[in-house]
Amino acid sequence: MLHPDFLSYLKHRWLNSTRGYGRFEAIYRPSTGAVALLTAVHVCDVTNAYGFITKTWRNYTNHYYEDTFQKFTFFVNHDFNMEIKLWDDLDRAGIISLYRGNITEG
């Protein structure tokens, strides 16, 4: 269980989308994966992330544990582009170790 104030902190300080949701602003929520990963960043000495969205998301199934390929869907209540950037920034800063799959960037 997480304290509601901690969840609010995560949403407004770490995952405060500037996407401009307009009529969907009231339903914006960080993904459950984002909440879990940022909770780990706050309580763990070392944080390794596997199965989180990256720039190469089109090459992977919707969930890392699926046996058959399922196309990833961007839902209006999450800002996955912001999460992609945040995971990349945290990885480059050495705060997390983000597994990016077996694809090498050119």
Higher pLDDT, 77 or 92: 92
Q: What is the pLDDT of residue 106?
A: 45
Q: What does the CA dihedral 47, 55, 90, 25 come to, rounded to 10 degrees?
A: -100
Q: What is the pLDDT of residue 20?
A: 59
* Strand residues in 31-101 grouped as ranges (E): 48-49, 97-98
Q: What's the pLDDT tens digit per position in 62-75?
A: 777 778 888 877 77
> Taking the model in full, what pTM does it have?
0.77
User: Is the pLDDT score of 103 beyond 60?
Assistant: no
Q: What's the pLDDT tens digit per position in 5-55?
A: 999 898 888 887 766 566 777 777 888 889 999 999 999 999 999 878 777
- For 1, other C-beta atoms within 10 Å of its C-beta total 3
